[in-house]
A and B are shown apart, each in its own frame.
Chain A
Amino acid sequence: MTSIAAVVERAPVSPGADPRARENVLLLLLITPAIVVFSAFWLLPIARLVALGASGEAGIETYLSVLTNGRYASSLLQTLALSGLVTLTTLAIAVISGLFLVRQDFFGRSALVAVMTLPLAFPGVVIGLMVIMLGGRQGIVGDVSVALFGVKTVFAYNMVGLFVGYVYFSIPRVILTVMAAAEKLDIQLEEAARSLGATPPMVFRDVILPGLQPALISSGAICFATSMGAFGTAFTLNAGASVLPMLIYTEFTLNANIAVAAALSVVLGLITWAVLALARSFAGSGVSAAG
């Protein structure tokens, strides 16, 4: 196999003489537009962003302020904790319902699968409205709690609202991956375990969960990374500076604190990238195209 480097080296020699060399030139021509667009509009801007992060009064220490400045650090910690909790909750839901939908055949099963994956491409802002419908001032949870306890429960505009929203948009993606993995589980292993006297919880813990593990790691990493960077839901719910993306947005638009905004985005990007790369090295190539 010829690498692109070899293509470049060989290209000027004598295009047209060797058909393979000619083809390499043409192939290089075909991929050039994509390379140019990506370099001009992503690589260059990101390089500038990294430099800008160190351009403020504090210089390179701006990057450290993410940890040393109380407000930034607490926002980072809250975002990490929220994303972790969302990931664990979503994985639990996806395992219970995903296994059920794969293993059982009953009337309405495919309708349930469709329902569970419908919100797949809803943007974060729309998820924000869903949370308002559930836990806003005119939300259904508030109505029910008034009827039952005489107290109106409103949770849409605090961390609980963010948690509910993030779980909402995570369920469809994670459940798709878990169901795909559950379909490939070898039922005979479970039968063997049972015939050797394993109880259902033991089968679940020692056979099913290990079988699902790669899918759980990869979809969990995607869920975590998505939650770390989620912006639309927090924006709609007006979540202040509670989560990192909102903090970045506020620093940039309201405080015009460009160096800090740049440094925080670079740190946030590095965290999500690292989580996905780590998960991939544990679970194989399935995590490569994370969203």
Chain B
Amino acid sequence: MRHGIGFWLQLGFTLLVSAFLMVPIGMSILAGFTENYFRGPSSGLTTRWIVEVWERYGDNIFLSLGIAASCLVVTILIGVPAAYVLAKRQSRLSRMFEELIILPVAIPGLATALALVMLYGTFGGFRSSWTFVLVGHVLYTLPFMVRSVLAVLSSIDLRTLEEGAASLGAGFWTRFWTIVLPNAGSGILAGSLMVTTLSIGEFNLTLLLTTPFTQTIPVGLAVAYTNARLELGSAYTVLFFAMIIPLLVAMQIWGNPSRTSTKRKRRALEKVVSP
């Protein structure tokens, strides 16, 4: 294959951009395994930083996983039924609801967090528990669950399926359990991957909602970057990558719930986290 100069210029540029994105990732992984980063890898490779991170910040990791799992359960419980209603009744009000629940993603997380702290900050037991963080995460991830389920439900002929079932005598709940939920499966899977990934990485909203005893991974990372040595912060980042990258890969594989609604699925993919 022959290529013009334009091809090579664009290839060079794209490789530069890729290097810009990848080199710091590689460096932080290296730093996480280096005895003394200032002296470089020649000072020896070690796993002691990883071990130290586990001892110091292990609690954060379990808390984050717990919050992500709870967030997933809540968004499925309240988001999937909501998406079904939105798919069945397309009125001005239901569109308004669809637009409203996106607002916690559209406006900066700091504003939502501040609003929550101002209103519920005085409820001591609630404020200091991990459920306060969970509330923020549910607000932030709910639209992603609703949208990916709604995308799948809008791409199939739900009305015909339900009418067929109803004519055979299936009641509302039978149809919901045996027709709606199985058909929404791929959307629930895509939404779940999204919700979990976003919850584990959320920082903007989370920082103000946490207490020193309810620190999640990203908050712990921020603390480690500012207070601990670079090697330790990097090792913590390596652990974080080990958790988040498999989720990102899974999202690329199963994150496109339906072929027919390319637009919605792209939308879902584009809108990840506000860093």
Give the complex CA separation of A52 and B269 in angstroms. 35
Identify A289's interface contact among B20, B94, B147, CB under 8 A.
B147
B197 interface contact, C-beta 8 A: yes
Chain B nearest CB from A135 CB (Å) reads: 9
A236:B103 contact, CB within 8 angstroms: no
B78:A288 contact, CB within 8 angstroms: no
A84 interface contact, C-beta 8 A: no
B91 interface contact, C-beta 8 A: yes
Chain A nearest CB from B23 CB (Å) reads: 7
Residue of B nearest to A238 (CB): B226
Chain B nearest CB from A242 CB (Å) reads: 15
B274:A177 contact, CB within 8 angstroms: no
A138:B221 contact, CB within 8 angstroms: no
A66 interface contact, C-beta 8 A: no
B169 interface contact, C-beta 8 A: no
Known interface pairs A42-B112, A122-B275, A291-B274; A115-B18 also in contact (CB < 8 Å): yes
Residue of B nearest to A234 (CB): B275
Please indicate the chain B residues that have their CB under 8 angstroms from the CB of A128 in the complex.
Answer: 222, 225
A33:B77 contact, CB within 8 angstroms: yes
- Interface 9-residue window, one of A69-77, A94-102, A189-197: A94-102
Known interface pairs A27-B85, A27-B88; A232-B110 also in contact (CB < 8 Å): no
Which size class do A's interface residues fall under?
Answer: 35 or more
Give the complex CA separation of A4 and B274 in angstroms. 32
Identify A236's interface contact among B104, B226, B244, B267, CB under 8 A.
B226
Which size class do B's interface residues fall under?
Answer: 35 or more
B133 interface contact, C-beta 8 A: no
A residues with a Cβ closer than 8 A to B are 1-5, 7, 22-23, 26-28, 30-31, 33-35, 37-38, 41-46, 48-49, 52, 93, 96-97, 99-101, 104, 106, 112, 114-134, 138, 140, 168-169, 171-173, 176-177, 180, 200, 219, 222, 225-226, 228-233, 235-236, 238, 245, 248-249, 252, 258, 261-262, 265-266, 268-269, 272-273, 276, 286, 288-291
A-B complex: 5 closest residue pairs judged by Cβ atoms = A229-B108, A124-B275, A45-B115, A291-B271, A269-B107
B residues with a Cβ closer than 8 A to A are 1, 6-7, 10-11, 13-15, 17-18, 20-25, 27-28, 31, 37-38, 77-79, 81-82, 84-86, 88-94, 97, 99-112, 114-116, 118-120, 135, 138-139, 142-143, 146-147, 172, 197-198, 201-204, 207-208, 218, 221-222, 225-226, 230, 233-234, 237, 240, 244-245, 247-248, 251-252, 262-263, 266-275
17 extra interface residue pairs, beta carbon distance < 8 Å, beyond A118-B21, A289-B271: A2-B89, A4-B94, A27-B85, A31-B86, A33-B78, A116-B17, A128-B222, A171-B17, A229-B110, A230-B274, A231-B109, A231-B110, A261-B114, A268-B110, A269-B108, A289-B268, A291-B272
